[in-house]
Structure formats: structure tokens, C-alpha cells
């Protein structure tokens, strides 16, 4: 027998299948990890297939040296997934396979954790001196309890007594493997009775199809997910649920643990290496049957899936932007189809792409249009910040927001103030009239590049002189930049020195469980103001939050891509959803310099459909996804001359595509990337926007051109979230 092996190394030259002989009596199976001789070295590899025949000269083949484990760590489904991803995302096989295993396992750094227990040695007759009281106590304790851990015995009776008993072989040591489980706060299982809409949703979601669960914030989607998972378990099947990293709140994890206990395994970035490894193993062995985690949990080693759930499906974190690049939706779809089970994409603000698919019947739309507790959505008041300036108020708070905060304080309630900093781009804006510098060709906001004092379009590369005067109103207070959380907290302190103000952002949550601490403090403090970034936008359910303030709603509006309006709509909807979830009615104060932008009208009316129609129209007219495909190929290398030459060669070839597909290629150019150098590598890119008709064909041909020309890695991205 012969084994086809993928070498677990990054080099492009090794990205192919190598054949090895299987020594007699070596029980090799597909999906096993093996050690193989390679040149003068021994390398790790994955057996991806077995065959009776070989393609190379048999006499020259080498034999597999040994197995890393005696079982296939990569199962059949994942091998199929590997092929699918390689085809679809133009990725190296080894880089895909690596996604399927915890990195700790590959590097052999993390081992199983064992603890030592002690039992009495039945075969040993023993005498103990009367003075050894502690030793006697241990013996009596073990007579009663049969077994106890080393840690427990030392704590109760001291180390020296234990040591003496071991030396006299009165006690026997036994090793026990321990699973390191991530800490989860305990909570009670809130058993609620499903309402009619939820019941209907669950009944609807049963086939081997993709369902788009569109439910307003607070509509009880989580309860629907839990029931779907419950049903899967009852049918003897397993489940995967993905949530964006930032919504992996302690609260959500606690709720799932409360409902499903040890059946849940958590996979997220807050785990220690040991915890991640053990959670993975619990899933692999079938001990845990529900994987809950961020993006990478879609690769959970579960078989026989009964449901796959992607919560907050519109979140951009589902698209992997580092290598290997992939879109989690594709993988989720693959796994659901492979297991013949439903895929559920849930959101209060589905992505335009997903809603478009629902509209065309590719996804099945399931709706939860009202809050589960019957409460109204909070009123959203739009404040024109340009007007505030005109009235002589140039602070970051409008007078309305200040008086609403004062109200919250007087009534001993709570407020959340939201600063949007994600993907913060330095656009230029006129403080007097709200004008934003945009590209004349692409209608996306320009990015200010300090180093050469120019404005650039990240879509087409076109450059503009930086502005000193506003072209609309002539004002000279045209600036770039925005405020951060720290500044907001400082300013608030000055105005309300007595009130507790908490801050939650990347800086204040970098230590373990910091997140949880801030949230607990917030929960227990009245009155209190929580100032935060995206982190406070999701998943939280605080009863006493009656006010949400959005300090500068426009910040995500002027990011430089076609999704920025969509992102703004969804962020504001999410944040607003934090207000007035319990008894008292909530309110949202939204501060903007562009109050007439269409997105705010739809947001204030909670009109997702209206927003979708408008956005769909704009995208169709401008030929942006989902009505076209953006392809970016990123070349990067330490040697700038090499990348420049390479891109020249590729682009010359690629231009022939432009002739062949003249009707399909809307835009195509080669250029430096907006971030020209990253981690000491020079970055160049080919950017392309193509109509959908022949998009796959063009993509494949482009890939072939580039793959042939390049000796280093090149990154393919489809509809990238970020063009930096």
C-alpha cells in the first residue's frame, strides 16, 4: 500500500502530494499524522489518501517512519473539506489541514494533564507509630473515602505525612487524566416558555437547507438556537454554534453551560493552550457534543452534526483576514450539507448578501419581528452635531445627551455610551458642514495618508491633494480623526464628577476575565455609565440601561468600503438594542454630522427592509457585491524588486484576460497596497471587480496565471472586508 502525504510545512514548493510506502504491519489510515523522511530531515505530514498503486518509481519511494498518533486526527469529512477549501480559496493544503487541529497539538507543546490520586495499598501490612497522628488521619480518611487527590491530602494533612506514607508504600499513587475546562461563571437556566413565533421558527427549521433567521434585537433568537441544539442532541446528533468573538460574553457562555452542562465545549481566543487542547479532545472523543466558539470553531472535530448555527451572521469577523483566508459561511454551508442538516444564519441585521440570497430563495427566510418580552424598541433620537457647533457647543456631547445622562443619574439607572472605533480610518471631514472627501470614481471615502499628505482611494488607488479648506463651505476646520473612549471618559468626569464611569475597550480588557469584572461592576452599580467600543454592542442584557448614547455614529459610515453603510446600520441597531430591555422604556441618542444620510432615517425607524432596498439599489447601480465580485490578489515579499517584477509579469498576463472578458471586467489595476509595507514585507496588489456571469472562470484563470509566475505565497481574497 501507498500513502499520499501532505508535508506540514509552509514552503510553496512542498505544497503538493508526496507518496510514501507503508511499512508492513504499520496500521496507517487516512487522516493520520505521520513522520516521514524528507531529504535529510524527518518531517511531520498528513496522510490524505491511501492507494494500491503509485505514480512514481516504486523503487525510489521512501517509507513512512512512524505515526504521530495511533488514530486519524483528521476525519473523512475534514479531508473532503480540505479539498473544497483548496479549490474555492486557492489555499495550500497544509495550511488548511492546520486549521483542523489545535496548534498546540501540532507543535507538541501541550500534553494531557495528569493529577496524582492516592489509595491505600491493600497488600501492605503496616504499623504506624502512635506519634504519627497525621499519618493515621490520612489512613482513616482514605479508608472512608477510598481515593483522594494529592492536592487535597496535602491541603488537609500536610506534605510530610503524605511523603512518609508513600515511602513506606502504605499508599499507592494513581495517575488520572484531567480535562482543563475554561472557567465559566455559573448561572441559572432561565427556562422560558417559547412564544408562538419562536415555536414556528423551530418547526420550520428542519431540512437540509440554509435558513436566515432575521429577528430584531431581543426577539429571543438565543432561545431558538438552544431548542434547535436540544433537538439535535435528542436525535443523537451534535451541534456547532458560532458567535463573533466579541459576543462571546461570559453571560452567553454561562447560559449555555447552564442549559447543556458538560456537553458544551468552548473554543475561543481567551482559552489557555491547555484548555483549548482539552476542549478539542472532548469534542473529538464525543464526550462533548456541542461546540460553541468564534470563527475557528467551525472546524470543530464533531461528526454527525444535527445543526450548524452562525449567530450575528453579518459580522465581518467571520471572514478570516489573515492566512489562510476563508469565509466561515462557506465552511458552515459545506459542513451542514455534508451532514444533511440545517444551517441557521441568525441576525437582527442580516448582511445585504445574505438577505439578497433569501430574497432569491437560496436561503429560507424565518422572521422574529418583535421582542420576546413584548417591549417596544427604544426610541432613537437623531442629533445634528453640526447644528450643535452652530449653537456654540463644540464639545463631544450634545446638550440633549447631557440632559438625558443627568436624568439617568437622577433616577439611579444606567447608561451606555458607545464609541465606534473598529477599522478606524482617518477620513477627512469638515467640522462645520459635515462634508467628507470622497473618490470621484468610486464614491467611497478617501483615506488620509500622513506620510505623503495625500488623500487616497483604497479601491482604485486614485490620489488627491489633502484639503486645507472645505470645498463645500470654505471652512478651514477640516480635520481628520475622531475621539476615543479615554477622551469621552475624561470629559464625562469633568461634567459628572460624582458618578461611577466604567470603560470597556481593548485596553481595559486585555487581562484574563477583565471583561467579566467590568460587566459585573456595571451590573451592581447605580447609577453608572459604561463607555465602550464594539464590545458593549452585543449580547448584553442589562435591565437598568435606559439610555444608549452613540457619540459619533458616522465613524463607521466613512470607512473606505462599499459595506460601510451596511455596517453602520447594523452597529447602531445592535447598540440601540441594549436600551430598555426590561421594565422601563429605553432611549437612544444618536449624534451625527450627517443627519440627512439615508442610513439614519432607516435606523431610527427600525426599517431593515427599507434599508435593504435602498442599499440593494445602490449596489446594483454601482456594480458592487453582491452584484459583482471584487478579487484582490496580494503579493508581499521582503524583496521589493522581486514583488514589483512579479506583479509586472502577472499583470501583463492578466491584461489578456481583460481582452478576453472585456464585458465582464468592470475594473482592473495593479498597484501598491494602501499599507505599503507590513512586517517588513512590501505589499503590492492586483485589484479587480468583475460581473458575476463569468466570475468563477476569471478567478480561476487569474489564479493560474499567478500561481505559475510566483515562487512565494500570494493571497487571494474575494470581496475583502478591508483593503489595507
Report the nearest approach of Zn ion to the CB of residue 470 (Å).
Answer: 3
Q: Is residue 345 within the footprint of Zn ion (CB under 5 A)?
A: no
What is the DSSP code string of 643-683? HHHHHHHHHHHHHHHHHHTTTTEEEEEEEEEEEEEETTEEE
Ramachandran assignment for 699, one of left (phi > 0), alpha (psi -120 to 50 degrees), beta (any other): alpha
* Distance of alpha carbon 654 from alpha carbon 670, whole angstroms: 10
State how far the Cα of 721 lies from the Cα of 326, in Å rounded to an integer.
12
Q: Binds 549, which of Zn ion, ligand ADP, none (CB < 5 to 8 A, cut-off by type)?
A: none
Q: Which does 541 bind (CB under 5 to 8 A by kind): ligand ADP, Zn ion, none?
A: ligand ADP
- Piece of 321-329, 429-437, 505-513, 664-672 that binds Zn ion (CB under 5 A): 429-437
Q: What does each C-alpha distance from 580 to 91, 379, 403, 500 come to in angstroms? A: 46, 10, 18, 20
Question: Do 600 and 434 contact (CB within 8 A), yes or no?
Answer: no
Identified binder of Zn ion from the candidate list 104, 404, 432, 505, rule CB under 5 A: 432
**Least distance to ligand ADP, CB of residue 570, Å:** 13
Decide if 378 contacts 580 (C-beta within 8 A).
yes
Pick one of ligand ADP, Zn ion, none as the site partner of residue 475 (Cβ within 5 to 8 A by kind).
Zn ion
Residue 597 to residue 334: CA distance in whole angstroms:
39
Distance in angstroms (rounded) separating the CA atoms of residues 519 and 536: 9
| Binding to Zn ion, residues 466-495 (CB under 5 A) | 470, 472-473, 475
Contact 134/191 with Cβ under 8 angstroms?
Answer: no
Residue 218 and residue 371 in contact, taking contact as beta carbons nearer than 8 Å: yes
Note whether 218 binds ligand ADP by CB under 6 A: yes
Of residues 115, 147, 192, 391, which one binds ligand ADP by CB under 6 A? 192
Which cell numbers hold the place of 84? 473544497
> What span, in angstroms and rounded, lies between the C-alpha atoms of 604 and 592?
13
Query: H or E segment at 33?
Result: strand 33-38
Q: Which does 327 bind (CB under 5 to 8 A by kind): Zn ion, ligand ADP, none?
A: none
Q: What's the rounded Cα separation, in Å, for the pair 170 and 634?
A: 67
Binding segment for Zn ion among 419-427, 463-471, 627-635, 647-655 (CB under 5 A)?
Answer: 463-471
Number of residues that bind ligand ADP (CB under 6 A): 17
- Minimum Å gap between C-beta 581 and ligand ADP is 7
* C-alpha to C-alpha distance for 125 and 373, rounded to whole angstroms: 68
Q: Does 455 bind Zn ion (CB under 5 A)?
A: no
All cell numbers assigned to 379: 426610541
Per-residue x/- track, 74-113, ligand ADP (CB under 6 A) = ----------------------------------------
| Residues numbered 362-381 forming contacts with ligand ADP, rule: CB under 6 A | 372-373
How far apart are the C-alpha atoms of 373 and 195, rounded to whole Å? 9
369: alpha, beta or left? (left if phi > 0; alpha if psi -120 to 50) = alpha
Which residue number, 2 or 435, has a Cβ lying nearer to Zn ion? 435
Residue 314 contacts ligand ADP per CB under 6 A: no
User: Which residues, numbered 483-542, are part of the site for ligand ADP (CB under 6 A)?
Assistant: 541
C-beta of 469: minimal distance to Zn ion in Å? 8
Minimum CB distance to ligand ADP smaller for 167 or for 196: 196
CB of 259 to ligand ADP, least distance (A): 11
DSSP state of 471: T
Question: How many chain residues are in contact with Zn ion, going by CB under 5 A?
Answer: 15
Kindly state whether residue 430 participates in binding Zn ion, applying the rule CB under 5 A. Answer: yes
Contact 33, 67 (CB under 8 A): yes
Q: Does 215 bind ligand ADP (CB under 6 A)?
A: yes
The DSSP H or E segment spanning 491 is helix 485-495
Nearer Cβ to ligand ADP (198/445): 198
Residue 373 interaction partner, one of ligand ADP, Zn ion, none, beta carbon < 5-8 Å per kind = ligand ADP
Give yes or no for residue 220 binding ligand ADP (CB under 6 A): yes
Q: Choose one: 215-223, 443-451, 503-511, 660-668; the region binding ligand ADP (CB under 6 A).
A: 215-223
Q: How far is the CB of 439 from Zn ion (least distance, A)?
A: 3
Q: How far apart are CA 404 and CA 586, in angstroms?
A: 11
The answer to whether 447 contacts ligand ADP (rule: CB under 6 A) is no
Considering the rule CB under 6 A, would residue 219 count as an interface residue with ligand ADP? yes
Q: Which does 217 bind (CB under 5 to 8 A by kind): ligand ADP, Zn ion, none?
A: ligand ADP
472 binds, among Zn ion, ligand ADP, none (CB under 5 to 8 A by kind): Zn ion
Nearer to Zn ion, 458 or 538 (CB): 458
Q: Does 457 bind Zn ion (CB under 5 A)?
A: yes
Q: Does residue number 411 form part of the binding site for ligand ADP (CB under 6 A)?
A: no
Smallest separation (angstroms) from ligand ADP to the CB of 245: 17
For residues 684 and 294, the answer to whether their CB atoms sit within 8 Å is no
C-alpha cell at 214: 432575521
Select from ligand ADP, Zn ion, none the partner in contact with residue 68, using the beta carbon and a kind-dependent cut-off of 5 to 8 Å: none
Select from 218-226, 552-560, 603-611, 676-684 the region that touches ligand ADP (CB under 6 A): 218-226
Q: How far is the CB of 573 from ligand ADP (least distance, A)?
A: 11
Binding of ligand ADP at residue 194 (CB under 6 A)? yes
Stretch of 190-198, 227-235, 586-594, 657-665 lying at the interface with ligand ADP (CB under 6 A):
190-198
Q: Is residue 459 close enough to count as binding Zn ion by CB under 5 A?
A: yes
Instruction: Tell me how far apart the alpha carbons of residues 421 and 505 are, in angstroms, rounded to a whole number.
Output: 10
Q: Which does 459 bind (CB under 5 to 8 A by kind): Zn ion, ligand ADP, none?
A: Zn ion
Minimal distance in Å, beta carbon 224 to ligand ADP?
Answer: 8
Give the end-to-end CA distance of the chain in Å, rounded to a whole number.
48
Q: Is 190 in the site for ligand ADP (CB under 6 A)?
A: yes
Q: In three state form, how does the secondary structure of 376-427 look?
A: CCCEEEEEEHHHHHHCCCCCCCCHHHHHHHHHHHHCCCEEEEECCCCCCCCC
Residue 439: contacted member of Zn ion, ligand ADP, none (CB under 5 to 8 Å, by partner type): Zn ion
| C-alpha angle 681-683-685 in degrees, rounded to nearest 5 | 160
Shortest distance, position 405 Cβ to ligand ADP, whole Å? 25
- In the Cβ-directed half-sphere of 139, how many Cα atoms lie within 13 Å? 19
**Residue 488, exposed/middle/buried by CB under 10 A (0-12, 13-18, 19+)?**
buried
Segment holding 266, helix H or strand E:
strand 264-267
Looking at the DSSP bridge assignments, the partners of residue 715 are 634
125 CB-side CA count, 13 A: 0
Tell me whether residue 538 is exposed, middle or buried, using C-beta atoms within 10 angstroms of its C-beta: 0 to 12, 13 to 18, 19 or more: buried
Considering only the stretches 1-9, 50-58, 192-200, 526-534, report the one whose residues sit in contact with ligand ADP under the rule CB under 6 A.
Answer: 192-200
Which residue lies nearer to ligand ADP by CB, 335 or 540? 540
Q: Which residues contact ligand ADP by CB under 6 A?
A: 190, 192-195, 198, 215, 217-223, 372-373, 541
Q: Which residues contact Zn ion by CB under 5 A?
A: 430, 432-433, 435, 439, 441-442, 457, 459-460, 462, 470, 472-473, 475
Amino acid at each position: 500500500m501507498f500513502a499520499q502525504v501532505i508535508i506540514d510545512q509552509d514552503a510553496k514548493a512542498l505544497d503538493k502530494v508526496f507518496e510514501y510506502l507503508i511499512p508492513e504491519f504499520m496500521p496507517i489510515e487516512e487522516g493520520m499524522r505521520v513522520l516521514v523522511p524528507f531529504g535529510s530531515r524527518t518531517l511531520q505530514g498528513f496522510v490524505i489518501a491511501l492507494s494500491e498503486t503509485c505514480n512514481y518509481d516504486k523503487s525510489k519511494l521512501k517509507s513512512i517512519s512512524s505515526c504521530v498518533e495511533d488514530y486519524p486526527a483528521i476525519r473523512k469529512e475534514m479531508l473532503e473539506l480540505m479539498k473544497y477549501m483548496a479549490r474555492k480559496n486557492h489555499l495550500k493544503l497544509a495550511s488548511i489541514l492546520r486549521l483542523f487541529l489545535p496548534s498546540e497539538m501540532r507543535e507538541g507543546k501541550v500534553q494531557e494533564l495528569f493529577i496524582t490520586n492516592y489509595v491505600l495499598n491493600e497488600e501492605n501490612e503496616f504499623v504506624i507509630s502512635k506519634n504519627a497522628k497525621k499519618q493515621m488521619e490520612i489512613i482513616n480518611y482514605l479508608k472512608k473515602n477510598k481515593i483522594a487527590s494529592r492536592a487535597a491530602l496535602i491541603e488537609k494533612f500536610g506534605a510530610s505525612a503524605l511523603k512518609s506514607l508513600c515511602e513506606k508504600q502504605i499508599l499507592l499513587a494513581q495517575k488520572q487524566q484531567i480535562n482543563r475546562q475554561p472557567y465559566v461563571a455559573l448561572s441559572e437556566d432561565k427556562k422560558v416558555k417559547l412564544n408562538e413565533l419562536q415555536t414556528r421558527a423551530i418547526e420550520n427549521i428542519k431540512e437540509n437547507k440554509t435558513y436566515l433567521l432575521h429577528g430584531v434585537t431581543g426577539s429571543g433568537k438565543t432561545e431558538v438556537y438552544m431548542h434547535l441544539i436540544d433537538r439535535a442532541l435528542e436525535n443523537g446528533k451534535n451541534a456547532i454554534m458560532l458567535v463573533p468573538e466579541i459576543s462571546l460574553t461570559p453571560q452567553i457562555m454561562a447560559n449555555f453551560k447552564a442549559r447543556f452542562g458538560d456537553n458544551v465545549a468552548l473554543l475561543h481566543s481567551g482559552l489557555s493552550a491547555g484548555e483549548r487542547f482539552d476542549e478539542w479532545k472532548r469534542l473529538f472523543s464525543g464526550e462533548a457534543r456541542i461546540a460553541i466558539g468564534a470563527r475557528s470553531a467551525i472546524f470543530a472535530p464533531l461528526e454527525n452534526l444535527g445543526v450548524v448555527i452562525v449567530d450575528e451572521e453579518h459580522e465581518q469577523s467571520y471572514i478570516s483576514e489573515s492566512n489562510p483566508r476563508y469565509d466561515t459561511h462557506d465552511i458552515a454551508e459545506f459542513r451542514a450539507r455534508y451532514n444533511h442538516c440545517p444551517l441557521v444564519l441568525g441576525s437582527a441585521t442580516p448582511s445585504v448578501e445574505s438577505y439578497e440570497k433569501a430574497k432569491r430563495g437560496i436561503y429560507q427566510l424565518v422572521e422574529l419581528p418583535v421582542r420576546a418580552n413584548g417591549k417596544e424598541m427604544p426610541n432613537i433620537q437623531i442629533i445634528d452635531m453640526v447644528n450643535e457647533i452652530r449653537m456654540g457647543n463644540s464639545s463631544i456631547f450634545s446638550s440633549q445627551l447631557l440632559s438625558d445622562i443627568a436624568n439617568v443619574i437622577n433616577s439611579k439607572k444606567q447608561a451606555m455610551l458607545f464609541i465606534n472605533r473598529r477599522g478606524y480610518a482617518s477620513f477627512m471631514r469638515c467640522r462645520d458642514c459635515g462634508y467628507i472627501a470622497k473618490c470621484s470614481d468610486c464614491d467611497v471615502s478617501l483615506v488620509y495618508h500622513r506620510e505623503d499628505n495625500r488623500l487616497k482611494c483604497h479601491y482604485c488607488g486614485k490620489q488627491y491633494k489633502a484639503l486645507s479648506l472645505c470645498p463645500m463651505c470654505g471652512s478651514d476646520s477640516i480635520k481628520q480623526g475622531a475621539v476615543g473612549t479615554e477622551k469621552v471618559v475624561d470629559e464625562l468626569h469633568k461634567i459628572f464628577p460624582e458618578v461611577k464611569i466604567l470603560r470597556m475597550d481593548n485596553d481595559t480588557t486585555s487581562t484574563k476575565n477583565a471583561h467579566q469584572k467590568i460587566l459585573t461592576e456595571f451590573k451592581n452599580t447605580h447609577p453608572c455609565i459604561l463607555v465602550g467600543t464594539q464590545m458593549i454592542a452585543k449580547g448584553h442584557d442589562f435591565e437598568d440601561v435606559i439610555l444608549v448614547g452613540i457619540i459619533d455614529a458616522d465613524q463607521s459610515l466613512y470607512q473606505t468600503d462599499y459595506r460601510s453603510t451596511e455596517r453602520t446600520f447594523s452597529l447602531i441597531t445592535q447598540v440601540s438594542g441594549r436600551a430598555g430591555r426590561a421594565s422601563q422604556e429605553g432611549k437612544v441618542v444618536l449624534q451625527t454630522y450627517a443627519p440627512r444620510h439615508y442610513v439614519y432615517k432607516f435606523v431610527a425607524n427600525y426599517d431593515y427592509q427599507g434599508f435593504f432596498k435602498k442599499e440593494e439599489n445602490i449596489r446594483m447601480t454601482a456594480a458592487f457585491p453582491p452584484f459583482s465580485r471584487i478579487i484582490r490578489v496580494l503579493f508581499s515579499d521582503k524583496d521589493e524588486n522581486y514583488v514589483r517584477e512579479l506583479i509586472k509579469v502577472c499583470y501583463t498576463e492578466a491584461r489578456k484576460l481583460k481582452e478576453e472578458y472585456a464585458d465582464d471586467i468592470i475594473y482592473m489595476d495593479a498597484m501598491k497596497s494602501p499599507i505599503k509595507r507590513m512586517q517588513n514585507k512590501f505589499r503590492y496588489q492586483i485589484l479587480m471587480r468583475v460581473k458575476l456571469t463569468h466570475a468563477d472562470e476569471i478567478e480561476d484563470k487569474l489564479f493560474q496565471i499567478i500561481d505559475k509566475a510566483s515562487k512565494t505565497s500570494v493571497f487571494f481574497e474575494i470581496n475583502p472586508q478591508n483593503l489595507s
